[in-house]
Amino acid sequence: MANMDCLPGSPRGAFLSPSPEMMKFSVALDQMHAELGGVLAQITPEMAETLIKEVEAAPRIFGGASGRSGFILRGFLMRLMHLGFTVYFVGETTTPRIRPGDLLLVLSGSGETAFPREMQRRANSAEARTLALTAHADSTIGREAQVVITIPGTTKLTRTQETASVQCPGSLFEQATFLFLEAVVLILYQRRSSQDRGEVLERHADLE
């Protein structure tokens, strides 16, 4: 491999200058960071405590969401399991019947996604607790949930009142919700485990 420092007529700085591709990447990160900062500034400690209160009071926690929101909610449920909670994701073959007092978490930016909407209705009928994370509290899911946490951001509906974003529809809501849930996990981790990594790792999967 050639030593670039020894190439004739090539100043060292030429190899350190950012490429156009790197500049585009940096701009994209800056745009995302600015958008997320604006959204996260609207999320309050009370919103986190509302979710924590529901999670800690529930004997079992169920989650239901579709698409990218489903992956985000699965990640949150995994961390709750690591912290000692009993959790299930709706639709899995090992998920049991929901019962009165259990908690169903649904995640939908638009608040109109069919799968979580119908699961929430069934949970309400079963006298379980229901909590929705959505960008639209006035949506069907928002209106029918017993507890609503509103995370600002763009959704697939791209309504005019949504936060402006240069990203794909839904991305800003999903990113903000992921970070909100990660903050909730951190709070629970500090409160329940006193940051005992060994206790958490004992529940981490070893068949992987």
- The answer to whether 104 and 119 are in contact (CB under 8 A) is yes
Predicted structure pTM score: 0.82
Output DSSP code: residue 56.
H
Of 35, 41, 32, the closest CA to residue 163 belongs to 35
Degrees, nearest 5: CA angle 32-38-39: 90
Instruction: Tell me the average pLDDT of the chain.
Output: 86
What is the distance between the alpha carbons of residues 153 and 40, in angstroms, rounded to a whole number?
10
pLDDT digits (tens, 9 = 90+) for 151-183: 987 766 656 666 777 767 778 899 999 999 999
Alpha helix ranges (H) inside 10-113 = 20-40, 45-57, 67-82
Burial of 115 (0-12, 13-18, 19+ CB in 10 A): middle
Extents of the domains making up the chain: 45-201
CA distance 63 to 73: 7
> Which pLDDT tens digit goes with each residue over 52-88?
999 999 999 999 999 999 999 999 999 999 999 999 9
Q: Which of 34-48, 85-99, 115-129 has the lowest mean pLDDT?
A: 34-48
- At 131, give phi and psi (nearest 5°): -130, 130
- At residue 158, the pLDDT reads 59
pLDDT in tens, 101-137: 999 999 999 999 999 999 999 999 999 999 999 999 9
The Cα–Cα gap between 121 and 170 comes to: 24
Reply yes or no on whether the pLDDT at 144 is more than 70.
yes
Question: What local confidence, expressed as pLDDT, does residue 195 receive?
Answer: 60
Q: What residues act catalytically?
A: 174
Q: How far apart are CA 52 and CA 139, in angstroms?
A: 23
CATH of 45-201, one of 2.40.30.30, 3.40.50.10490, 1.20.1260.10, 3.30.1490.20: 3.40.50.10490
d(CA 189, CA 96): 26
